[in-house]
């Protein structure tokens, strides 16, 4: 196993141990959810996002409930709510007398809010585990005709607080053929800090990568941008980011370059809960050169997932990178296609 994949595997194991320890200190399960069919279940509201309510129970463990199937909620605890119009509210939940509504008690009063107008719920007084979401992806593809293989290990850790969304993403890819072995590694730490008008956000990112195909031994970037949520509900997300980034890189010939480049980024996600249950995530980024006029880089990925059982999904993913100015050892582009499994740790 290549060293980069081995290190990531050990990190995943450590993350699982932390999550298991946090489970032991979760708050009491005194919340209530009423489903549209009239069933009522006591438990613990862990979070709601991407159209799914994560709900802890004593008898069934943590279950995922489709948000369309929720009639109302009740809880004595404090939450952050994000509405379909991107308004944020901070307060407690109460059971509404109106079907399909929840009672939200916040600083400006008490009001009935339609369940389907709520896009996200985050426990403010929750444990680390309740705010943390970790997903591990393993993919493999064997092209027998060309006797080549691609192995991918990915990790995504997200953490939500009252005013920001924070994410750590890592990916290690090994492509092997009869004649050569190429690796590409990437590590990104990003933060989206919401404005008072929450459809806008500040975007910060620090990243590192290496790529044999592009002849990049090391590339370090620091990014600042301004983003806008174009669409965000319980079925679809679309956001745009524009900004600048400083780049320091060293190629396979040992030549170092420092530069400034632009950033244009588009992120899109859509999911479907009716059979078959599908989740499509895609992101595309372009980096036009500013101090290096005429240079253009880009990268992107697309992943299609469908649920198999519990927190395990099958997926088909593709990724690609290109650079129109590489040294003579680089191909100018790199891409890969893998099929694999995704495990949602939290």
Instruction: Classify residue 253: in a domain, yes or no.
Output: yes
Instruction: Classify residue 9: in a domain, yes or no.
Output: no
102, burial (CB in 10 Å: exposed 0-12, middle 13-18, buried 19+): buried
Structural domains counted in the chain: 2
Q: What pTM value is reported for the model?
A: 0.75
Instruction: Classify residue 2: in a domain, yes or no.
Output: no
Q: Is the pLDDT of residue 46 over 50?
A: yes
> Average per-residue pLDDT in the chain?
84
Query: What are the structure tokens assigned to 277, written together?
Result: 């249950």
Quick one: DSSP state of residue 275?
S
Kindly report the CATH number assigned to the domain that includes residue 317.
2.40.230.20
18-22, 28-32, 243-247, 314-318: the lowest-pLDDT one: 18-22
Q: Is the pLDDT of residue 241 over 60?
A: yes
pLDDT in tens, 17-44: 444 444 444 555 688 999 999 899 999 8
Picking from 64, 91, 126, the residue at the C-terminal end of a domain is 126
Between CA 224 and CA 232 the distance in angstroms is 22
Picking from 126, 149, 183, the residue at the C-terminal end of a domain is 126
Same domain, 232 and 166: yes
pLDDT in tens, 283-311: 999 999 999 989 999 999 999 988 777 67
Helix residue spans in the chain (DSSP H) = 3-23, 128-131
Q: Which pLDDT score, from 0 to 100, does residue 231 have?
A: 86
**Which residues are 302's β-sheet partners?**
282, 318
CB atoms within 10 A of CB 118: 22
Picking from 99, 126, 153, the residue at the C-terminal end of a domain is 126
Name the residue with higher pLDDT: 161 or 341: 341
Same domain, 108 and 218: no
Angle CA(100)–CA(88)–CA(122) in degrees, nearest 5? 75
Side-chain half-sphere exposure of 334, counting CA atoms within 13 A: 23
pLDDT in tens, 196-213: 887 899 999 999 999 998
Same domain, 205 and 109: no
17, burial (CB in 10 Å: exposed 0-12, middle 13-18, buried 19+): exposed
């Amino acid at each position: 196993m290549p060293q980069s994949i081995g290190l990531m595997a050990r990190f995943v194991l450590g993350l699982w141990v932390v999550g298991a320890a946090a489970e032991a200190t979760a708050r009491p399960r005194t919340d209530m959810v009423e489903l549209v069919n009239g069933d009522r279940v006591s438990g613990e509201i862990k979070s709601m996002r991407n159209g799914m309510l994560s709900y802890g129970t004593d008898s069934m463990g943590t279950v995922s409930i489709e948000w369309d199937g929720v009639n109302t909620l009740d809880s004595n605890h404090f939450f952050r709510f994000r509405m379909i119009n991107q308004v944020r509210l901070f307060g407690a939940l109460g059971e509404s007398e109106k079907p399909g509504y929840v009672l939200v008690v916040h600083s400006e009063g008490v009001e009935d809010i339609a369940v389907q107008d709520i896009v996200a719920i985050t426990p403010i007084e929750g444990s680390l585990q309740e705010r943390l979401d970790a997903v591990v992806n393993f993919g493999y593809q064997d092209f027998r005709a060309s006797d080549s293989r691609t192995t991918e290990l990915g990790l995504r850790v997200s953490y939500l607080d009252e005013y920001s969304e924070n994410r750590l993403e890592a990916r290690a890819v090994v492509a092997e053929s009869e004649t050569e072995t190429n690796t590409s590694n990437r590590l990104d730490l990003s933060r989206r800090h919401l404005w008072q008008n929450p459809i806008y956000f500040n975007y910060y990112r620090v990243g590192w990568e290496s790529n044999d195909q592009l002849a990049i031994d090391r590339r370090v970037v620091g990014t600042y941008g301004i983003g806008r949520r174009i669409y965000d509900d319980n079925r679809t997300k679309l956001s745009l980011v524009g900004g600048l980034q400083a780049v320091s890189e060293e190629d396979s010939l040992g030549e170092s370059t420092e530069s400034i480049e632009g950033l244009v980024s588009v992120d899109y996600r859509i999911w479907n809960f009716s059979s078959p249950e599908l989740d499509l995530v895609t992101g595309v980024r372009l980096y036009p050169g500013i101090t290096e006029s005429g240079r253009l880089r880009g990268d992107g990925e697309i992943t299609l997932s469908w649920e198999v059982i519990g927190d395990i999904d099958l997926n088909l993913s593709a990724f690609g990178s290109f650079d129109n100015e590489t040294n003579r050892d680089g191909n100018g582009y790199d891409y890969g296609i893998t099929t694999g499994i995704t495990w949602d740790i939290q």
